[in-house]
Amino acid sequence: MTDPGAAETPIGVVDLARARANASKVVAYAEEHGLAWRPHVKTHKSLRVARLQLDAGARGLTVATLHEAEVMASLTDDLLLAYPPVGEAKLARLAALPERLDFKVALDSTEVTEPLAAAAVAAGRTVGVLVEQDVGLGRVGVQSAEEVVALARRVDEIEGVDFRGILFYPGHIRMPSDAQRPHLTEVADRVDRTIEALGEAGLPPEIVSGGSTPTLWHSHEIPGLTEIRSGSCIYYDREALAVGVGAPDALAYTVLATVVSTAVPGRAVVDAGSKALAKESRGGDDGYGVLLDRPEVRVVGLSEEHGVLDLGETRWVPRIGERVRIVPNHVCVSVNLQERLLAMDGEERFLMELEGRGR
């Protein structure tokens, strides 16, 4: 495929040259501060992009599902499942992963630890464990350093699992706003206390895994951190622009859409609805995306196949059949809604598979 105009819309579009530059920038930052980058592949779901990240210098990959692990095991021997595997079916799939893998799992309970250990023993393997601690998001993770130590001790006691360190996700922080700095300081203090407690218990963590894209460039301010898992920094999105972590010239993902109606005054409708963009307010309380070349034009309404553009702040007069590129609020969800992406790499254009989609 040589002409993007030949692609049927709506379809996600990836600029691989920008993605490559984004990966190189993150690796340079990580190396400068003695950190490793273990990117979360849930953003892109693509073997090609994961290979790009590893070639740039990423140390292993982070996955969120067993399917992602099964797919990405073809590229690296170093994988982290940043999600507790619950249920016999998932544990069977985990145990069947290639034995050569240095495979690690994040978890926050003995209810997950003990079945995982039993499955690993039955498969004749050992699985690394990172104990997850809640640092303020309130989603998953044990609540205190004492609980981290207690769970780490249990992991250390039983066969089939090996305590490797701790994991946290500061997803409640939206840097670089000065108003967010006290939250980052609180996270740093909490992690520091946990590392100290583990050391005193004779269980010093080999791995301290943290970071998010909004806090990416401040990761070095967290003492003891060894790796960052930032994922959406490979493409960025409207939220990244809003918090200042990414610049417009770093945006590597948009959704190509076609104007299908201009019948309502002050509005235009495109064929990218919630099944292409995702109905998330993340990145802005005033809609679900903006046009790449006309950021004053917001996507203010979404139904399944309709995206409503507000023309109140633009002099642009759209025509039916005209194509636009939309920057979604949250890139990860939008990518997962696509069957394939239109990839651009210099002059080359091709359809890119998303092998990591699925459970």
Tens-level pLDDT at each residue, the chain (359 residues): 345 557 899 999 999 999 999 999 999 999 999 999 999 999 999 999 999 999 999 999 999 999 999 999 999 999 999 999 999 999 999 999 999 999 999 999 999 999 999 999 999 999 999 999 999 989 999 999 999 999 999 999 999 999 999 999 998 887 677 777 888 899 999 999 999 999 999 999 999 999 899 999 999 999 999 999 999 999 999 999 999 999 999 999 999 999 999 999 999 999 999 999 999 887 666 899 999 999 999 999 999 999 999 999 999 999 999 999 999 999 999 999 999 999 999 999 999 999 999 99
**Shared domain check, 320 and 182:** no
pLDDT at position 2:
44
Beta bridge partners of residue 151, listed in sequence order: none
**Shared domain check, 318 and 232:** no
pLDDT at position 303:
96
**Shared domain check, 197 and 75:** yes
Domain that holds residue 271: 248-353
pLDDT at position 180:
79
User: What phi and psi, each to the nearest 5 degrees, are found at residue 355?
Assistant: -65, -25
pLDDT at position 200:
98
Residue 335 domain-assigned? yes
Q: Tokens for 224?
A: 């003891």
**DSSP state letter for 198:** H
**Shared domain check, 32 and 161:** yes
List, in sequence order, every beta strand (DSSP E) within 246-291.
Answer: 253-261, 267-270, 289-291
**Shared domain check, 278 and 153:** no
**Shared domain check, 223 and 80:** yes
pLDDT at position 183:
86
pLDDT at position 283:
63
Q: How far is CA 38 from the centre of its chain?
A: 11
Residue 217 domain-assigned? yes
Residue 225 domain-assigned? yes
Cα distance between residue 172 and residue 140, in whole Å: 13
Q: Based on the structure, what is the number of domains in the chain?
A: 2
Q: Which of 236, 269, 304 is the last residue of a domain?
A: 236
Residue 241 domain-assigned? no
* H helix runs in the chain, sequence order: 16-32, 47-56, 66-72, 88-95, 110-122, 145-157, 181-200, 238-243, 274-277, 331-336
Residue 257 domain-assigned? yes
**DSSP state letter for 224:** T
**Is beta strand 323-328 parallel, antiparallel or unpaired with respect to 348-353?**
unpaired
User: What's the pTM value of the predicted model, to 2 decimals?
Assistant: 0.94
* H helix runs in 124-211, sequence order: 145-157, 181-200
pLDDT at position 173:
83
**Shared domain check, 165 and 276:** no
Q: Which of 236, 257, 281 is the last residue of a domain?
A: 236
**Shared domain check, 330 and 269:** yes
pLDDT at position 174:
79
**Shared domain check, 49 and 182:** yes
pLDDT at position 1:
38
181 in helix, strand or coil?
helix
**Shared domain check, 93 and 204:** yes
Cβ-contact 43, 240 below 8 angstroms: no
